[in-house]
C-alpha cells in the first residue's frame, strides 16, 4: 500500500491526506459473519482531509461499511469509499532461483544413478567370479586335488569387495531418496508461486471536512465473512440434590486474515446476511393436467433472467439461524446478544477459540427410564425448565453425573420458560432384564381353522442403589394391522398406569426401595388362519 502522506492543492484549497492506524476494539459475531469495529484518534487540519484505513481483509463487505465521529464539532463526513488492491505476485527471480536449485539437485541424482550402475556392474563381475570359483572347487574335490588355500583367499577377496559395494549402494540410495524428496518440495513451492493469485486487500477512504484543526475519535465498522460460532455445553448433574449445572460455552472460528486481539466479544443470534424483507405469498394455482404437444423454443437472455428472478422471489427462506448466550445479556426486539466478560483473543485460522459464556444451575426432577425390550440399561433423565433469561441453543453437551463423565448428548434448542428432558446417561446402579419365558402353540385338533400361539414375557428390575428410586418402564404389545390376525387373551401383571390402545404402548411407574427387585409379566395370544405366517411377531 502506498503511503498517502502528502499535501495536495486543489482550487487553492489545501487537501490533507494520510493513512491512519486503527485498532479493533469490538467484534459482534453472528452465525456466519461478524461486525468488526475499529477505532482511531485522528488529528484533522482545517479544510478537506482524505483519511485512509489500509490493509483491510478482502472479505470485507463493501456495502456494510459505517463510520461515525465523536468529538467532531462541525466536522462533516462527506464520503466513504472502499478500494480494492491487488498486491504483487512473488518476484520472478524467486521462481528462477527455485528452478536452478531443482536443476542442480536433478543433476546430482543423475550422477548418483551413474555411480549406482557402475557399482552394479562391479557386483555382477564379482558374483560371476564367485560362481566360477565354486564350479572349479567342485571339480577339484571330485579329482581329489582340492586347493583350500586358494579357495579361502579368493572367497575373502570377493566377500570383502562385495561388502564394500553393498555399503556404497545403500549410501547412494539414501542420498538419491533425500535429493528426490528435496526436489519434490521445491517443485511444490515453485508451482504454488506460479499459480498463486495476487494477494488482495481493501482500504477504506474517508473524506472529512473540518472547520478548524481538531482531534476526533473515528469509529469504523464493517461486516466480514468466513466467521462462525457454535454453542457447546457441559451438563453436571447431582441426582441426590436435584440440581443440574449447565456450563455454557461457545467455539468461535474465523478465517478473515485479521487478528482479533484484546477485543470486546459479543455473540449474537441475529442473521444480518439474510434478506430483511418478509416474503410475499403468491397465488397457489392448480389445474388439471393436460397433455400438450412439445414445442421447442429458445429464451432470450433477458427473458431467462426475468424468469429466474420471478422463481427466486417465490422461495421462502426456511433456514434457522444458530445463536448463543453470555455473561451479560442484551435483549433486542428480534434477536439476543451475549457479551462475553473480559477482553478476548480470536486468531485467524482453523483452530476455534473457546470462550465461557455463563454458568447456570437449574432445579431438576430426576427420573429413571428404561425400555428393556430395546436396551438392557436404565437411563437417568433430568426434567428441567429453562429459568434463565436467554435461550439455550442446539449443541453438543458433555454429560457428568456426580463428577463422572458418562457420555455425550445432543442439546436441543430451549427457549426461556421451556421445559426439556435431559438425557444424563446410563445408571449402572440399576439392572433390568427382558426375556421370553414361554412360547406355546395351543392349536388343537385337525379341524381347527385357527392357529394360536401364546407368548409369556418376564421383565425383572433390580435397584442396587442405597436410595429409593422411581422408575418409568416402557414396553409394548403387538398391534395387528389385519382383521384375520388377532392379539387377545392379554394379561398384564401388574396393570400399567398408562396403556395407549391405539399404538399398544405400555408404561409403568415403579417405586423401588434400596436393594428391591420387582417382576412384571406380559401374556398374550396371537390367533390367525391356519397355514398363514405372521411377520414381525418373533
pLDDT digits (tens, 9 = 90+) for 177-224: 999 999 999 888 888 776 655 678 999 999 999 999 999 999 999 999
Domain range enclosing 480:
430-529
- Domain for residue 168, yes or no? yes
Q: How many CB atoms within 10 Å of residue 494?
A: 11
Q: Does residue 409 sit in the same domain as residue 507?
A: no
Q: Cα 310–314–319 angle (5° rounding)?
A: 135
Q: Region 257-277: what's the mean pLDDT?
A: 81
Same domain, 506 and 455: yes
Asked if the model's pLDDT at residue 320 lies above 60, the reply is: no
Q: If pLDDT is split at 50, 70 and 90, which confidence band does 297 have?
A: very low
- Both 252 and 349 in one domain: the answer is yes
- 221 with 234, same domain: the answer is no
Judge contact between 42 and 67, C-beta under 8 A. no
pLDDT surpassing 60 at residue 309: no
Cα-based torsion angle of the residue sequence 218, 41, 71, 35 in order, rounded to the nearest 10 degrees: 30
Residues 6+ apart with CB under 8 A from 434: 372, 373, 376, 457, 458, 459, 475
491 and 366 in a common domain: no
The verdict on residue 80 lying in a domain is: yes
Asked which of 426, 443, 473 is the last residue of a domain, the reply is 426
| pLDDT tens-digit readout, 60-89 | 999 999 999 988 788 999 999 999 987 665
Structural domain contains residue 50: yes
Same domain? 182 vs 71: no
Predicted TM-score (pTM) of this structure:
0.58
pLDDT-derived band at 441, boundaries 50, 70, 90: confident
Residues 441 and 522 in one domain: yes
C-alpha cell belonging to residue 81: 469509499
314 in a domain, yes or no? no
Query: Could you tell me if 491 and 347 lie in one domain?
Result: no
Residue 242 and residue 135 share a domain: no
Tell me: the pLDDT tens digits for 483-515? 888 999 999 999 999 999 999 999 999 999 999
Give the total number of structural domains in the chain: 4
Name the band, by pLDDT with cuts 50, 70 and 90, for residue 431. very high
CA 494 to chain centre: 48
What is the average pLDDT value for the chain, to the nearest integer?
A: 81
Amino acid at each position: 500500500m502506498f503511503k498517502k502522506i502528502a499535501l495536495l492543492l486543489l482550487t487553492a484549497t489545501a487537501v490533507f491526506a494520510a493513512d491512519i492506524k486503527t485498532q479493533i476494539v469490538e467484534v459482534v459475531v453472528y452465525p456466519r459473519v461478524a461486525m468488526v469495529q475499529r477505532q482511531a484518534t485522528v488529528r484533522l487540519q482545517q479544510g478537506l482531509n482524505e483519511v485512509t484505513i489500509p490493509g483491510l481483509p478482502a472479505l470485507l463487505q463493501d456495502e456494510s461499511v459505517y463510520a461515525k465521529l465523536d468529538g467532531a464539532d462541525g466536522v462533516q463526513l462527506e464520503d466513504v469509499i472502499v478500494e480494492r488492491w491487488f498486491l504483487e505476485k512473488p518476484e520472478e527471480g524467486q521462481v528462477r532461483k527455485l528452478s536452478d536449485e531443482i536443476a542442480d539437485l536433478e543433476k546430482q541424482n543423475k550422477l548418483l544413478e551413474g555411480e549406482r550402475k557402475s557399482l552394479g556392474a562391479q557386483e555382477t563381475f564379482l558374483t560371476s567370479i564367485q560362481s566360477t570359483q565354486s564350479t572349479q572347487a567342485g571339480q577339484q574335490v571330485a579329482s581329489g586335488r582340492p586347493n583350500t588355500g586358494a579357495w579361502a583367499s579368493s572367497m575373502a577377496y570377493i566377500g570383502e569387495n562385495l561388502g564394500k559395494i553393498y555399503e556404497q549402494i545403500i549410501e547412494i540410495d539414501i542420498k538419491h531418496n533425500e535429493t528426490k524428496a528435496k526436489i519434490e518440495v521445491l517443485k511444490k513451492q515453485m508451482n504454488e508461486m506460479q499459480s498463486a493469485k495476487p494477494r488482495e486487500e481493501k482500504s477504506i477512504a474517508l473524506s472529512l471536512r473540518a472547520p478548524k484543526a481538531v482531534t476526533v475519535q473515528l469509529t469504523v465498522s464493517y461486516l466480514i465473512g468466513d466467521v462462525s460460532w457454535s454453542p457447546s455445553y457441559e451438563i453436571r448433574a447431582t441426582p441426590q440434590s436435584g440440581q443440574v449445572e449447565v456450563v455454557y460455552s461457545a467455539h468461535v472460528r474465523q478465517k478473515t486474515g485479521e487478528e482479533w486481539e484484546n477485543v470486546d466479544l459479543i455473540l449474537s443470534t441475529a442473521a444480518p446476511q439474510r434478506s430483511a424483507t418478509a416474503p410475499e405469498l403468491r397465488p397457489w394455482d392448480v389445474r388439471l393436467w393436460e397433455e400438450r404437444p412439445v414445442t421447442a423454443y429458445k429464451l432470450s437472455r433477458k427473458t431467462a433472467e426475468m424468469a429466474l428472478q420471478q422463481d427466486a422471489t417465490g422461495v421462502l427462506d426456511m433456514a434457522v439461524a444458530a445463536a448463543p448466550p453470555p455473561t451479560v445479556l442484551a435483549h433486542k426486539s428480534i434477536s439476543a446478544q451475549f457479551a462475553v466478560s473480559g477482553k478476548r483473543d480470536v486468531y485467524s485460522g482453523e483452530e476455534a477459540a473457546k470462550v465461557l459464556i455463563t454458568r447456570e444451575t437449574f432445579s431438576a426432577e430426576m427420573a429413571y427410564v428404561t425400555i428393556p425390550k430395546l436396551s438392557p440399561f436404565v437411563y437417568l433423565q433430568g426434567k428441567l425448565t429453562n429459568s434463565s433469561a436467554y435461550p439455550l441453543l442446539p449443541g453438543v453437551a458433555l454429560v457428568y453425573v456426580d463428577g463422572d463423565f458418562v457420555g455425550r448428548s445432543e442439546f436441543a434448542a430451549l427457549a426461556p420458560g421451556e421445559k426439556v428432558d435431559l438425557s444424563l446417561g446410563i445408571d449402572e446402579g440399576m439392572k433390568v432384564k427382558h426375556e421370553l419365558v414361554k412360547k406355546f402353540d395351543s392349536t388343537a385338533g385337525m379341524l381347527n381353522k385357527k392357529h394360536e400361539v401364546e407368548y409369556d414375557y418376564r421383565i425383572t428390575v433390580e435397584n442396587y442403589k442405597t436410595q429409593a428410586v422411581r422408575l418409568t418402564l416402557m414396553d409394548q404389545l403387538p398391534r395387528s394391522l389385519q382383521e384375520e390376525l388377532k392379539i387377545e387373551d392379554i394379561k398384564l401383571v401388574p396393570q400399567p398406569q398408562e396403556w395407549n390402545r391405539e399404538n399398544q404402548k405400555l408404561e409403568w411407574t415403579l417405586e423401588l426401595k434400596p436393594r428391591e427387585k420387582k417382576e412384571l409379566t406380559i401374556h398374550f395370544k396371537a390367533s390367525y388362519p391356519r397355514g398363514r405366517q405372521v411377520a414381525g411377531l418373533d
